[in-house]
Chain A
Amino acid sequence: MEPISIEGTPKTPTVKFDASNGIIEIKGRSIPENSIEFYKPLVDWLEEYAKNPMEKTTVNVQLEYFNTSSSKCILDVFKKLEAIHKAKHEVVINWYYEEDDEDMLEAGEDYESIIRVPFKMIEIVE
């Protein structure tokens, strides 16, 4: 499977999806007006990956900002990962948040309560 590698912009995150090592990364800002356009290829990729995933999939999400339009798309990404986890493959979601950013921690906890995949909340201390 071809990996996904997208450079970040002021409104969209850096994305690296690699099927050969099972590492999925989303970093930066996600505040586009229409997030579906951006996330649709990512969700499609995961759907394909789910057919033959690695024994372990590691997901690193490190967002500085995301808007509510992105929040639903991120949930769609997580739902694809949940399906992989349900099929008895190991999946762990590392949710990074900056020191003292309670809003971002809470956003991670919201997802954790909806998605049945183990989450790790990781504070980035400067």
Chain B
Amino acid sequence: MSFDVQEYYSKLGVGDVILAFKGSITTDLINNVLEEVEAKLEDVDEEAKIRKKVYNVLVEALQNLYHHVEELPDNLKTKDNFEAKFGILVVTKINGSYKISCGNFITSEKIKFLKDKIDKINSLSRDELKDMYKFILNHQKLSAKGGGGLGLVDIARKTGNKLEYTFQHYAEDYYFFNLDVLIT
């Protein structure tokens, strides 16, 4: 049985939902989400420090989605009515912490690279993360898309928390990658 993205999405909305989105990850969408979340955090008078962290993580998470969303082939897209560049993003507040969940389709060949990268990040101390960040910053070129391989490292550094993830088989060679980030 294949992974049910819709059901998964509906289960993410536990707690106080600040924003929930599924659909095409476009530049306009990113702009709207950032504006909306920023306004909401200001409304609830969230502490500046936390507000900035949430905003920063959100920017990186959204831009990761934007750059890495894998387009499903037409036959799969139409089966479940997925839009082009489909991704999900849910921001919730649970017990005083913010949780940002994001998800997108990827092909199986990319799983190992991504898993190794996250496991590596999760194994590092704060100082080691700083060194890793500085090394990538100084030694790796930006891709043509503008990605720098720094997004996940930055998220881990800013939150101080481990990155939680799952890869669920969807269909054929496609998996759904979900990342949960906690800002405490």
Real binding pair? yes
| Residues in A lying within 8 Å of B, measured CB to CB | 10-11, 31-37, 65, 67-69, 71-73, 75, 98, 100-103, 106, 110, 113-114
* Closest 6 A/B residue pairs (Cβ): A34-B146, A68-B150, A69-B146, A68-B154, A72-B148, A67-B59
Chain B interface extent, by class: 20 to 34
B97-141 vs A, CB cutoff 8 Å, 1 = contact: the mask equals 000000000000000000000000000000000100110011011
In contact, A68 and B35 (Cβ under 8 angstroms): no
A36 contacts across to B, CB distance below 8 A: 142, 146
| B31 on the A face (CB < 8 A) | yes
Of B48-56, B78-86, B164-172, the segment with at least 4 beta carbons within 8 Å of chain A is B48-56
| Between-chain CB contacts (< 8 Å), 6 pairs | A31-B59, A33-B30, A36-B142, A67-B60, A68-B60, A103-B53
Residues 50-103 of B contacting A (Cβ, < 8 Å):
52-53, 55-56, 59-60, 63, 66-67
B151 contacts across to A, CB distance below 8 A: 68
Instruction: Tell me the complex Cα distance, A34–B66, Å.
Output: 11
A67 contacts across to B, CB distance below 8 A: 56, 59-60, 63
In contact, B138 and A103 (Cβ under 8 angstroms): no
B150 contacts across to A, CB distance below 8 A: 68, 71-72
A101 contacts across to B, CB distance below 8 A: 48-49, 52
